[in-house]
Amino acid sequence: MHTHPHYSQSAIDELSRAYPLLNPLMALTPVSWFNPERQPLEQALTGVNLNADDVADAAARLNRFASYFRAVFPNTRALNGLLESPVQPLAAMQRAMDTRLEQPLAGTLMLKRDDLLPVSGSIKARGGIYEVLQNAEKLAIKAGLLHPSDDYAKLDSDEFRAFFGQYSVAVGSTGNLGLSIGIISAKLGFKVSVHMSADAREWKKARLRSHGVNVVEYQNDYSVAVAEGRAKAQNDPCCHFVDDENSVQLLLGYAVAGQRLKAQLEKQDIKVDKEHPLFVYLPCGVGGGPGGVAFGLKLAFGDAVHCVFAEPTHSPCMLLGVYTGLHDSISVQDLGIDNLTAADGLAVGRPSGFVGRVMAPLLDGFYTLPDEDMLNLLSLLARQEGIYLEPSALAGMPGPWRVENEDQGYRERMGLTPARLARAHHLVWATGGGMVPEEEMAKYLAAGS
Ligand SMILES: *Cc1c(COP(=O)(O)O)cnc(C)c1O
């Protein structure tokens, strides 16, 4: 178990004198912060023992499993058994946002549709599913049942389900990670337990139970669900715990998105280089999803890609950790911030220290926004484009305007001239919403209009 320092009121006062942005953060006022410590990619990678080969290895593993996906999830056949989502322009939404924010965006707004990812309808279908596959492959190879050159469709058999049934998988989750890991683990034959925080939606728990998943409920927030799940799994050598706060495998699974996006943009004749910058806006909870995707994007596009994380005003954990350099040794609750948000995928009070340390020199910035904005944007996007997302997935939408309005010298430092910004693409990562039941969506739409 981790132990965490306790902060007295005088320690918090001292901290907020050294880090003045903590004052508006504690007042729940939306803030933007552009990272003065951002380093060129080469330099930032020197302290990291993960590289492009590790990500290529993860991509190759997903390719090996493609025939299994074609066999057991028929809706992945159109994509040849890969879990990938489209990128689309958002012209009507861009005009509506220009009006709403009273400022025309110079570049082009686009949306990455991870809400359409097969199997679980969220970004968690990248990292979460990858880690389960990596573990399954390792077990089967070790037992002499599988060879990397085999056709992995053979995993869809009673023999393999019985084999995996000797093992279990566990995870702590606010919802979507549990859905992804629960569904794929149960499909392969693993026994699986999902430890759900209090903010997890009822329908997500019901969906998991219908797949035969053991759902363990907590009255506490996400960090407690993770800690309890981790502690229970530690006593069981046959249990693999997917540790959302510390997992290299999760990060690699998410990072595969980088090369895939590069190929998609090339197909659409969208250039990315110093003269044609790409901005990507990623909603952030504990950090694994956006951190992994951003890591993959940096490897794929180098310094031409600019990654910005978005968090709710009530759960700004990664901003807090990176801005103060305290990472996972401080939580938003330490500052008296309640971690209560309608954006359930982002309801995390303490960030991943692993992700924060790897990504701190690579990220361009962070901003926070109130729940009300996410809900309003949810309904605006539905009206303008007929696209239905969950609240968390809207966190990235105001990002391009935050960049264009910043007054911290960031654009100048990065050489982001007006001419370059006019050629920029701004990609908002729509992290989820594909599995939200209609009656839940109706509630979101009503709340946002
Ligand atoms: C989990 C999640 C995120 C954030 O991912 P983290 O790995 O927790 O940072 C963002 N949006 C949605 C919809 C999610 O489910």
Determine if ligand 1 sits within 6 Å of the CB of residue 176.
Answer: yes
CATH 3.40.50.1100 maps onto the chain at: 9-50+75-120+251-448, 124-247
Determine if ligand 1 sits within 6 Å of the CB of residue 122.
Answer: yes
Q: Which two tokens stand for residue 342?
A: 């309608």
Q: Name the residue of 431, 436, 441, 444 to mutate for ligand 1: max ligand atoms within 8 A of Cβ.
A: 431
Cα–Cα dist 288/328, whole Å: 13
Amino acid at 195: H
Q: Which atom of ligand 1 is nearest to the CA of 352?
A: 9
Span from the CA of 124 to the centroid of ligand 1 (angstroms): 7
What does each C-alpha distance from 422 to 6, 147, 333, 396 come to in angstroms? Answer: 47, 50, 40, 19
Tens-place pLDDT, residues 193-236 = 999 888 788 898 999 999 999 999 988 888 888 888 899 899 89
Average per-residue pLDDT for the chain: 96
Percent of the chain with pLDDT over 90: 90
Determine if ligand 1 sits within 6 Å of the CB of residue 287.
Answer: yes
Determine if ligand 1 sits within 6 Å of the CB of residue 392.
Answer: yes
DSSP states of 49-101 as a string?
A: S--HHHHHHHHHHHHHTHHHHHHH-GGGGGGTT-----EEE-HHHHHHHHHHT
Determine if ligand 1 sits within 6 Å of the CB of residue 351.
Answer: no
Q: Name the residue of 115, 352, 392, 435 to mutate for ligand 1: max ligand atoms within 8 A of Cβ.
A: 392
Q: Does residue 289 have a pLDDT over 50?
A: yes
Is the sign of the CA dihedral 69, 71, 75, 78 positive or negative? positive
Least confident of 21-25, 242-246, 262-266, 338-342: 242-246
Determine if ligand 1 sits within 6 Å of the CB of residue 124.
Answer: yes
Local confidence band at 344 (pLDDT 50, 70, 90 cut-offs): confident
Span from the CA of 226 to the centroid of ligand 1 (angstroms): 15
Determine if ligand 1 sits within 6 Å of the CB of residue 403.
Answer: no
Span from the CA of 283 to the centroid of ligand 1 (angstroms): 6
Q: Which two tokens stand for residue 353?
A: 């220290």
Count of beta carbons in the 10 Å neighbourhood of residue 92: 15
Instruction: Classify domain 9-50+75-120+251-448 at the CATH class level.
Output: alpha beta
Q: Which atom of ligand 1 is nearest to the CA of 250?
A: 7
Local confidence band at 1 (pLDDT 50, 70, 90 cut-offs): very low
**Could you tell me the fold of the domain covering 124-247?**
Rossmann fold (3.40.50)
Closest by CA to 316, choosing from 17, 26, 7, 14, is 26
pLDDT attached to residue 154:
98
Cα–Cα dist 293/262, whole Å: 12
Cα–Cα dist 253/285, whole Å: 17
Determine if ligand 1 sits within 6 Å of the CB of residue 283.
Answer: yes
Q: Which atom of ligand 1 is nearest to the CA of 290?
A: 9
Cα–Cα dist 246/260, whole Å: 24
Q: Does residue 418 have a pLDDT over 80?
A: yes
Closest-CA residue, ligand 1 atom 15, reads 345
Global confidence as pTM: 0.97
pLDDT attached to residue 226:
86
Determine if ligand 1 sits within 6 Å of the CB of residue 431.
Answer: yes
Span from the CA of 14 to the centroid of ligand 1 (angstroms): 32
Q: Does residue 402 have a pLDDT over 70?
A: yes
Cα–Cα dist 311/203, whole Å: 24
Q: Name the residue of 117, 124, 320, 341 to mutate for ligand 1: max ligand atoms within 8 A of Cβ.
A: 124
Tens-place pLDDT, residues 156-179 = 999 999 999 999 999 988 889 999
Local confidence band at 334 (pLDDT 50, 70, 90 cut-offs): very high
Determine if ligand 1 sits within 6 Å of the CB of residue 393.
Answer: yes
Span from the CA of 145 to the centroid of ligand 1 (angstroms): 34
Query: In the predicted model, what is the mean pLDDT of residues 17-32?
Result: 98
Query: In the predicted model, what is the mean pLDDT of residues 374-383?
Result: 98
Determine if ligand 1 sits within 6 Å of the CB of residue 247.
Answer: no
Query: In the predicted model, what is the mean pLDDT of residues 267-291?
Result: 98
Determine if ligand 1 sits within 6 Å of the CB of residue 120.
Answer: no
